[in-house]
Amino acid sequence: MSDKTSLTYTPLFCEENIWMLIKSLDKQSEIIPLDVLFIINPGNSVALFQQTKSNYSEPIIWDYHVILTTIKGKEALVYDFDTRCDFPISIEDYFENTFKFWSHIDSQFQALIRPINADYYIRHFTSDRSHMKGVICDDAFPAYPVIMNSKEKTPLTLSDCRNCNKITEELPLITPAEYLERIKFHRHM
């Protein structure tokens, strides 16, 4: 799956784009959704390189961003609708391009990763889109209905995913380097 134009995508709704992507990948047994990665920090100002909205040499500052990691065979891949990188791309190449110069970026712009198991995300994530109401015009919202997992007693909201102070077993918070180590371990199991 390398043609992202055939997938459901709405600008500014990365958390829903990834939810829809996982739903479409469920049908492809050779690609196993692993983790939904919320790229966040306490100041809601994460610097990411190689994003389509940035110029080529500078990062863009997002309040948050959401991507998907998968396993295909023994290869870990990243799906990011908003990158100039390949779709998908190896996790090592993605992290090298996206978090470029990470150690030289001011701490207020450094990324943290909130990995959420893809199965958990599909079952629990709920989006009311309130964070975009009054920010963009109505016709810029996704054409499909809001994502509601009403069967779940404890829905997972966008606010839960973005809150750096909320750390649970399902919602850990780690650095990009720690996530890469975690993936290396997972691939060698």
Catalytic site residue 131? no
Single out the catalytic residue among 26, 35, 65, 86: 65
Beta-carbon contacts of 39 under 8 Å, excluding residues fewer than 6 positions away, are 46, 48, 62, 64, 65, 66, 67, 111, 112, 113, 114
Catalytic site residue 186? no
Average pLDDT value over all residues in the chain: 91
Single out the catalytic residue among 14, 124, 160, 161: 14
Give the CA distances from residue 116 to residues 38, 85, 90, 103, 109, in Å, rounded to whole numbers and listed in that order. 8, 22, 19, 25, 22
Catalytic site residue 124? no
Single out the catalytic residue among 26, 35, 63, 80: 80
pLDDT digits (tens, 9 = 90+) for 78-126: 999 999 999 999 999 999 999 977 667 898 999 999 999 999 999 999 9
